[in-house]
A and B are shown apart, each in its own frame.
Chain A
């Protein structure tokens, strides 16, 4: 789960990490009032759940009331990578002498948290990683030790010589690690963490992502969730035991298992088609699940064909076939369906489908090719 910058900074501030003075605004007049209250210059920043807003023109420094009005007018309502900007953060301008990067994430290989710092803050850290990987210092955090004061000091000394900064930084790093652990974050990032002209460390930006698997024990974090329209569908689906992601193609997919669902999408693409979605219905032959899945697929008007790819493992294919028939009887479908059923009792399953006049194919590649040709017929 992702949250906005303003929300991330609220979380950081709760842990006494110093962040800029700032006000969240929804309208141009709110921006004007906020700028007057904070005093010029201020920075107006689009709040969207995607990166690259700076490049898209979603962050502007403004020095007076006129500029504030212009900036607010252009940013509010702006489209950034498919996200409409509905709110902006107005942050007090800060004069600083240097920009640091500080971030924590999980390292799959060491199976622990990794603390990353760089003196080259203020730019996309992925770019630094590509061009000067040596400029990013990584510290694996032993889960038993955590961010002990000496660990934080070690990281701080790697960045600064000035003892005043070292002390501030090691205090801040301990707090940052505490936030990361206590909120079940998967990423926490301050970029830039600046040294102000008067020698203070201050978070100008903040980014936090969270582990979806841990939201059940993070009610406060969970309440910050602001899903987009597509994400709302994904959440609805999850509540029904389905894992759904909408894509742009015309072939709707219904598959059991995440890996097989991905492989099915790949197969469609391999033969020149475009999948309309990723959809894992999990391992059961429950007709209700098939109905929910079908309704979800059909809610996307771009879908011209539905391809069902089921591997019967624990769930036997004859049960799956009965489930499919029960489901298809309940919903009237106007577009063609291609069913591929394989695995335990597949012979019996295919027999049942054949009797019900449902078209079946034997292999995944056949299913993909058939679905593609049907979708092309539809376009004609």
Chain B
């Protein structure tokens, strides 16, 4: 088991003929992900890495039975691409595109809720269930199948963490990059519950960062709903207020969203917070009595 993506994932790539889209299509195929089609308006009939290209998501779904879609289109078209996937009946959409206007995300949210479409991102590296499916731009080689569920607002910090988990013999059930934007799709609470319900996952790693109060809310959720052990790391303990630290969502505004507040919230929820990424494997091993 795993969450969200697995061997039964039938993936569609929106923006498949673009530079990033075609590059990562090949990477995902190499990993073993089942990609059934691509979409690029006006490119119907072409093939990318052997994958047939369609003009619209609706056509692609009809022909291929795709249930998941990954989006590589430029940021200004990303919201429309997400809506197109939702309208065509795609259940899970992963938006990789970076720099999507916040109000675009606000505008599409009600329609996604109405259609029951789940969104991950935008501005995220995607997700992976090791040995089953890679849906995103994550470097597949560093992951290993196992029982740790991981969620993170950051890309390379996730890779750093996973690399340390894997080198310490700790495999992963699913790793999800939820993205660094202020308004994003699936967030900590939803993913915590999925990992709680996943029999394969035995412990959860939550990598947070400064900005907003999602970590504080996650802490509250953990107290009320999560029985599995959770460990965390919060990036940006030394970030100055008022400065956007790369991610649009990573900004401390008027004294809220600081790492210190998030760490206290987690510790009050019984979540152990690592002082540096390399402490995570030890914390997990202790909790799992390995």
Bound: A311/B255 CA distance, A: 31
User: What is the bound-complex CA distance between A216 and B155, given in angstroms?
Assistant: 25
Q: How many residues of B sit at the interface, in one of the four size bands?
A: 35 or more
Hey, which chain B residues are within 8 Å of A263, CB to CB?
157, 160, 233, 235, 276-277
A143 at interface by CB-CB < 8 Å: yes
Residues of the A chain whose Cβ atoms lie less than 8 Å from the Cβ of B213: 108-109
A219 within 8 A of B: no
What residues of chain A lie closer than 8 Å to B142, measured between beta carbons?
313, 343-344
| A259 and B106 within 8 A (CB) | no
Kindly list chain B residues whose C-beta atoms are within 8 Å of the C-beta of A283. Answer: 155-156
Q: Least Cβ distance of B185 to chain A in Å?
A: 9
The answer to whether A258 touches B101, judged by C-beta atoms less than 8 angstroms apart, is no
With a CB–CB cut-off of 8 A, which chain B residues contact A164?
none
B27 proximal to A (CB < 8 A): yes
Interface residues of B in 134-188 (CB under 8 A from A): 137-139, 141-142, 152-160, 163, 180, 182-183
A36 within 8 A of partner (CB): no
Is B248 part of the binding interface, using a Cβ–Cβ cutoff of 8 Å? yes
Tell yes or no: B110 within 8 A of A by CB: yes
Question: Which B186-241 residues sit within 8 Å CB-CB of chain A?
Answer: 207, 209-210, 212-214, 217, 233, 235-240
A283 to B155 alpha-carbon distance, docked (Å): 10
**Chain A positions within 8 Å of B160 at CB level:** 260, 263, 311, 342-343, 364
The answer to whether A213 touches B107, judged by C-beta atoms less than 8 angstroms apart, is no
Q: Which residues of B contact A363 (CB under 8 A)?
A: 278
How many residues from A make CB contacts under 8 Å with B?
52
Cross-chain contact B110 with A108 (CB below 8 angstroms):
no
- B75, B110, B250: the one contacting A143 at CB < 8 Å is B110
Q: Contacts A111-B183, A258-B246, A263-B233 hold; do A143 and B278 have CB atoms under 8 A apart?
A: no
Pull 7 A–B residue pairs with CB atoms less than 8 Å apart, ordered by A: A247-B240, A258-B245, A262-B154, A266-B259, A312-B139, A365-B276, A365-B278
Q: A-B pairs with the 4 shortest C-beta distances? A: A259-B154, A258-B246, A257-B156, A259-B157
* Chain A interfacial positions (CB closer than 8 Å to B): 51, 106, 108-109, 111-113, 126, 142-144, 181, 184, 186, 211-214, 216-217, 243, 245, 247, 255-263, 265-270, 275, 278, 280, 283, 311-314, 342-344, 363-365
A262-B209, A343-B142 provided; 10 other pairs, C-beta below 8 A? A111-B106, A144-B110, A245-B244, A258-B247, A259-B180, A262-B235, A280-B246, A311-B163, A314-B27, A343-B159
